[in-house]
Structure 1
Amino acid sequence: MDPESAVTTCYRHPAVESHVRCARCERYICPDCMREAAVGHQCPECVREGARSVRQARTAFGGRITAVPLVTYVLIGLNVLAYVGELVRPAIVDRFEMLGAGLVGSDGGHYVWQDTYPSDFHAVGVVDGEWYRLLTSAFLHLPPTEGTFGILHIVMNMVSLWNIGRVVEAQLGRLRYVVLYLLSALGGSVLVLLIAPGDPTLGASGAIFGLGAAYYVMARRLGADMAAVNRFMAGLLLWLLISAGLTSWQGHLGGLLAGAVVTLAYAYAPRDSRRALVQAGACAVLLVVLLVSAWAKVAELTGAQ
């Protein structure tokens, strides 16, 4: 048989005659397998291989570039769902708000903590092993008819989360943003535990203050015009002072400090192959410091050796 008269077929579809070769591997491909390339056509396998070899774009802080603030949407959704849960079952607040140490009497009433208490009392809070309160409290807010703000508590926090969160998420990428948010929330709860363990607190404010600190650190690192940023921070710090008489300033300050530490690690880690490791290491160290501080405080409150 004359070789030139032989019928050539697609390597993926042997029953389909083909006369076009992949520009990369030179195998024959049919119209269904052709993928447009800079020059000619490529087969699906070569297209996938080429996509794997292309370096993904990153932000200045090492995160993947994202156009949709998905994590911010999810966080707002979780807060709103938790709030609906509070409205349906108000007991959720007592069960999951931040409380370092408290007592519940036989009458069901709540009492100030003391390390020795009658046998018909029982401890509640982190001192009773309820460590989850350190994070769950960051997703709860004041019921509509309680506290200074009522329903405005969640409304103001969610508006702030939307305005600041989507900016921070776009710069950090989703994973770094989640870590920042959770460590800021944890930092706020731990400072409450250290300074005011008997005060029940709740709200996303600690995490949002952490995002505010991140916004400032990132702007400085990127060389942005600091005039508007400084005005924003001045307002944030002013609210921190005002909140000392209205809400948990300890939670706000703890979140602010934790957020600043995390973002400093993000912003000033070396821009080479070590960057992710340094950033993760700094976050891990902060997590250990927070947990050890919380454990030491619980040991102090309970008189454990």
Structure 2
Amino acid sequence: MESESTVTTCYRHPKVESHVRCTRCDRYICPNCMREAAVGHQCVECVKAGARSVRQARTAFGGRITAVPLVTYVLIGLNVLAYLAELIRPEIVDRFGMLGSGLVDADGGHWLWQYPYSSDLTAEGLANGEWYRLLTGAFLHMPVTEGSFGILHIVMNMACLWNLGRTVEGQLGRVRYLALYLLSALGGSVLVLLIAPDELTVGASGAIFGLGAAYYVMARRLGADMESVNRFMIGLLLWMALSAGLTSWQGHLGGLLTGAVVTLAYAYAPRDGRRALVQAGVCVALLVLLAVCAWAKVAQFTAI
């Protein structure tokens, strides 16, 4: 008597005959569902499950290792787009640049802050509740009408962002890097607000000085050769001093100090389950401190 052989089919494609089993789940799989494994083949679902169970590699600061500095690309793109918008609409600088307090008349003329002010003048800046200026000013740059430095301003900043950003993002990971950049930009704006509230300032320099501080702190934490790193920091500090007459040294210093604090938290947080919590806690605490300082300063504008 002749026995009838049983036909086995792929569990994902029931109409396809298969004689190979997944080495993990032991189900039959067809050639389209086979994935090479260390021994034999695995099905698509088992490969995905295995990938989820593998612990992703982390940097010394807790960030995920990424090959593409995506955040740096996006930040450069936003700065360039903002600059192109300035060329089309120059009034964007006055509308979104960092300004603590100022007055504007009906003809668009700008005046120094005084309180109380006459009815034919209108408040502008943070004194008028325009809190977004604390960050939007960090994505704008000197207009091209400011001479050659107007163009050099964005060119130099984007060159620095390209060189520093890729290194720092690679070590911190995207989330920590973005938090560092935005907090440094905010820290620069807040120091401008505290020291020179009536000056309109623009530029990514505060955030970039924050990246410079991060580069220095990370190098020390990783035990790198500090000779070249120290030369870099000396050059950065010299530029902050020499450019004080052309740019906002307050924004540079505020970004530098903020970036240093954030990166110290990243670098020296305990390397256990508390690391992410400590790092996030320091960032939130710093954000609250900057917000309180900004609010207190703005409140003084209308105090008599």
For normalisation by structure 2, the TM-score amounts to: 0.97
* Residue aligning to 2:194: 194
Contact 1:148 1:246 in 2 (8 A): no
Deviation of 1:245 (Å): 2.1
Letter in 2 for 1:64: R
Deviation of 1:68 (Å): 1.2
Task: Provide the identity percentage.
Answer: 79
Deviation of 1:156 (Å): 0.7
Deviation per CA, 1:97-121: give whole Å up to 9, x if none. Answer: 0000001123421111012111111
* Residue aligning to 2:209: 209
Q: 1:2, 1:218 → 2: CA distance?
A: 75
Deviation per CA, 1:111-152: give whole Å up to 9, x if none. Answer: 110121111111000110000000000010111121672211
Deviation per CA, 1:42-71: give whole Å up to 9, x if none. Answer: 111111110110000111111111111111
* Residue aligning to 2:10: 10
Compared CA separation, residues 227 and 9, structure 1 to 2 (3 A): same
Letter in 1 for 2:218: M
Q: 2:2, 2:34 → 1: CA distance?
A: 28
Q: 2:2, 2:50 → 1: CA distance?
A: 36
Q: 1:147, 1:183 → 2: CA distance?
A: 30
* Residue aligning to 1:80: 80
* Residue aligning to 1:232: 232
* Residue aligning to 2:61: 61
Which runs of 5 or more structure 1 residues have no equivalent in the other structure?
Answer: none
| SS in structure 2 of the partner of residue 5 of structure 1 | coil
Which runs of 5 or more structure 2 residues have no equivalent in the other structure?
Answer: none
How many residues matched?
304
| SS in structure 2 of the partner of residue 149 of structure 1 | helix
Contact 1:76 1:161 in 2 (8 A): yes
Q: 2:43, 2:148 → 1: CA distance?
A: 65
* Residue aligning to 1:104: 104
Task: Show the 5 A alignment for 1:113-132.
Answer: 113-132=113-132
Q: 1:220, 1:2 → 2: CA distance?
A: 79
Deviation per CA, 1:253-294: give whole Å up to 9, x if none. Answer: 000000001100100111111111111111000000000100
Deviation per CA, 1:162-191: give whole Å up to 9, x if none. Answer: 111111011111111111000000000000
Q: 2:202, 2:108 → 1: CA distance?
A: 21
Q: 2:80, 2:148 → 1: CA distance?
A: 19
Task: Show the 5 A alignment for 1:164-183.
Answer: 164-183=164-183
